Chain A
Amino acid sequence: MLDVDSVAHSGGWQRFHAAEKACFGLGCLGVALLAPAPGGGLVVAVAVLLLITIGPARVAPRLLLRLGLPALGSVAVSAIVVLVDWGAGPPSAAGSRVEAAAALTGRSTGAVACLLFLGTTIPIGQWAAGSRAVGIPDPIVEVGLAIHRTIVVGAGLVGSLDRAARARLGYRDARTALRTAGLVGGGLLGRLYDRDVRHDRAVAARRGTGEPPVARIGPPSPVRLSAAVMGVLVVALASWTVVR
């Protein structure tokens, strides 16, 4: 199981309805993108990250950093791309684009925080059930679930292969690391295919149709849903107040 799934399944947000969490998370995402940049997005990021770490989920900050680091790295690279003048001649810093880079960073950081909130509070089963409940067609939900399953299996396999390679000093220096990366990558494709074939056989053996079993969920509590909407409004108000 991925760390993000593990946290979503075991955290204190389990007792809230998926619709309440989605309403809050997606609402904050909207605020992060629409609030005046860069301050608005950063305020949303701080508010949401505080909620994840000291709220019912109690996600350890180090784990949260690990989960968000790839996305934040992508944000940093994007900001650098905006900041640098890639025109004719050697690349040089473009002072006039600092504001645009800051806006990009602020909004993206807020958005990453909101996606982390959604990921660490809503387990995949609730996502699927919720998506069906709001009328998203079954094939789309199933494709999403299949992609998720492939990522989970792939991540598990990469983790196991990587650990086994480290046990035999596979990353001792650059040369061995390159060789190990090739072996792990090559091994992963074959193993993923093998797992998929075995999974298909197991599903067929149980007369499965290929449709994954998904829990059904009832309607959310109107009071809590209203509280989620209020939460979004509070975050939005804070964002505009701090920035203005």
Chain B
Amino acid sequence: MTGLVATGLEYRYPDGRVAVDRVDLEVGPGARIGLTGRNGSGKSTLLLLLAGLVRPAAGTLSLDGAGPAVGGAERSGWRGRVGLVFQDSDDQLLAPTVRDDVEYGPRNLGLPADVVAERVDRVLALLEIADLAPRPIHALSLGQRRRVAIAGVLAMEPKVLLLDEPTAGLDPLGTAALLECLDRLHRAGTAIVLATLDLELALRWSDRLIVLDEGRVVEAGPPDVVLSSAHCARLMGRGPAILAVGRQLRAAGVLPSGENLPRDLDQLLFWLPEPPKREPRVLTLR
């Protein structure tokens, strides 16, 4: 089996509470998987498990058929191939300047200096933050720190990129820029798992959406189908307005039943009837 495969993953907190309960997950090459659920539903813990940063109480993990060994270099190798961008960028940025921080991972891989420099330059260019390279971390905005955190993981060239609520706290333009970066990575073949509470983002961005509740997968499938389900509505509220309008359009016969529901504003506008044109009123001033 190619890609990242998790079977029966379980994790318990030290006080015995179940955080992740028998989760099965497949992340194929180039997949875009959204992960959502209420606060405390186990999203972040599941990402930590997938990244090999906490040890599961039960279950197995494999990437392209090989699993992480317990401890040692094998496990470290796993972390090089499955990269995790933490929810709080401040936790992740360790070095004093942007370039130092992006270099941190590749240097830990033991790569020669010229390879490290080439990787760092490439990743900084990909995320359009090359101009930030010499700047100190503490002088960056939240959106810039988020992109530097992603760059630090991408410089290790992971096969699977895990992102924990990457758009939280970003302004709309920052979110759009980040999604553009993710699209570029997706086109380059990186599999991405994105945990988010933003249902519109999950609908727009993911090819497959998974809903967690109390550590269990309760819904999984195409995002428009998952977000239209009654179960998801009970857990997460009414869901994106775009879906609701799309359903109204379908009910009114504007959207053919064979067509998928719109997943972003552009698709929605395509199906919306144009408003009647009004003749401009001419006012005569006396």
Cα-based distance from A156 to B109 in the complex (angstroms) = 27
In the complex, the answer to whether B14 meets A3 with C-beta atoms within 8 Å is yes
In the complex, the answer to whether A160 meets B76 with C-beta atoms within 8 Å is no
Q: State which of A60, A180, A191 has its C-beta within 8 Å of the C-beta of B16.
A: A60
Instruction: Count CB-based A-B contacts (< 8 Å).
Output: 71
B94: A residues at CB distance < 8 A: 161, 164-165, 170, 180, 183-184, 187
Give per-residue flags for A6-19: 1 if the beta carbon is below 8 A from chain B beta carbons, else 0. 11001100000000
Q: State which of A63, A160, A170 has its C-beta within 8 Å of the C-beta of B91.
A: A160
Give per-residue flags for A197-236: 1 if the beta carbon is below 8 A from chain B beta carbons, else 0. 0000000000000000000000000000000000000000
B79: A residues at CB distance < 8 A: 166-169
Q: Which of A3, A60, A172, A190 has the most CB of B within 10 A?
A: A172
Give per-residue flags for B203-223: 1 if the beta carbon is below 8 A from chain A beta carbons, else 0. 000000000000000000000
Question: Chain B, interface size: which category?
Answer: 20 to 34
Give per-residue flags for A123-134: 1 if the beta carbon is below 8 A from chain B beta carbons, else 0. 000000000000
Chain B: CB-nearest residue to A7? B15
Chain B: CB-nearest residue to A10? B15
Cα-based distance from A94 to B13 in the complex (angstroms) = 45
Chain B: CB-nearest residue to A170? B108
In the complex, the answer to whether A63 meets B14 with C-beta atoms within 8 Å is yes
Cα-based distance from A161 to B90 in the complex (angstroms) = 9
Nearest-Cβ distance from residue A51 to partner chain B, whole angstroms: 18
Within 8 A of A (CB), among B148-184: 152-153, 156
A161: B residues at CB distance < 8 A: 91, 94
Q: How many residues of A contact B (CB 8 A)?
A: 28
A172: B residues at CB distance < 8 A: 73, 76, 108-110
The answer, yes or no, to whether B143 is at the interface (CB within 8 Å) is no
The answer, yes or no, to whether B262 is at the interface (CB within 8 Å) is no
Q: State which of B84, B86, B104, B110 has its C-beta within 8 Å of the C-beta of A170.
A: B104
A150: B residues at CB distance < 8 A: none
Nearest-Cβ distance from residue A60 to partner chain B, whole angstroms: 7
In the complex, the answer to whether B76 meets A169 with C-beta atoms within 8 Å is yes
In the complex, the answer to whether A168 meets B108 with C-beta atoms within 8 Å is yes
In the complex, the answer to whether B108 meets A169 with C-beta atoms within 8 Å is yes
Cα-based distance from A11 to B16 in the complex (angstroms) = 10
Cα-based distance from A170 to B101 in the complex (angstroms) = 12
Could you give 29 example pairs across A and B, Cβ below 8 Å?
A6-B13, A6-B14, A7-B14, A7-B15, A10-B15, A11-B15, A58-B16, A63-B14, A157-B91, A161-B91, A161-B94, A163-B48, A164-B91, A164-B94, A166-B79, A167-B51, A167-B53, A167-B79, A167-B84, A167-B86, A168-B83, A168-B104, A169-B105, A176-B107, A180-B94, A183-B104, A184-B94, A187-B94, A190-B138
Interfacial residues, chain A to chain B (CB-CB below 8 A): 3, 6-7, 10-11, 58, 60, 63, 157, 160-161, 163-172, 176, 180, 183-184, 187, 190-191
Q: Lowest 6 CB-CB distances: which A-B pairs, in order?
A: A160-B91, A168-B105, A169-B108, A164-B92, A183-B94, A10-B15
Q: Given contacts A161-B94, A187-B94, could you give 19 more A-B pairs where the C-beta distance is less than 8 Å? A: A6-B14, A11-B15, A160-B86, A163-B48, A163-B53, A163-B91, A165-B94, A167-B79, A167-B92, A168-B83, A168-B104, A168-B152, A168-B156, A169-B156, A171-B76, A172-B109, A176-B108, A180-B94, A190-B138
